[in-house]
Structure 1
């Protein structure tokens, strides 16, 4: 596991795909300022951001977490949170159907 955010590795993966940091930030739902802080190792990524980075870069989330620094969470490590998100999405869909929204 990397001790610090491996900005060179991330930039190389972005370059391979022809993607800018701006696109990466948008895909992860981050402000560009937050992404800059992450690349400077001054902000940790959330599990959701790790997964978004992995999706954009086409690499496993564990690799992103490994390259993002010591305390970066690997998505899927918190099964309860994932289940809570899924239940919330299902509840929202049921509520929408009850209202008759399409």
Structure 2
């Protein structure tokens, strides 16, 4: 866990993904000046911003929170959203099973 904001790691991730700090500021809804405060460890990152950073930088939210500094909150999965995702995954699995059964029947004919 980074004690302070790990600007070098974030700059490396941005470079690897061919993104700029302007892209990062835009995604977070921050001005360039506000993002500069984050990089200088003069502004904390909140849980919502951690989620956005994780998506944009294709990284785990826990790693993002750790790289943002010691007091950065890790976003918690929203129970309602997780329940909805679980229900959708069950429906997809059921549809896949039915499709496989139909395909097997058509091969037997």
- TM-score, reference length from structure 1: 0.73
How far, CA to CA, are the matches of 1:30 and 1:72 in structure 2?
Answer: 17
Alignment of 1:75-86 (within 5 A): 75-76=75-76
Map 1:1-102 → 2, pairs under 5 A: 1-76=1-76
CA distance in 1, matches of 2:30, 2:48: 11
Structure showing greater radius of gyration is 2
Q: Where in structure 1 do 4 or more consecutive aligned residues deviate above 4 Å?
A: none
Unmatched segments (≥5 aa) in structure 1: 84-102
Deviations 1:6-65 (A, max 9, x none): 000000000000000010111111121111000000100011111111111000111100
Contact 1:45 1:72 in 2 (8 A): yes
TM-score normalised to structure 2 length? 0.69
Task: Name the SS for the 2:70 alignment partner.
Answer: coil
Query: What is aligned with 2:94?
Result: none
Q: Distance in 2 between matches of 1:34 and 1:46?
A: 13
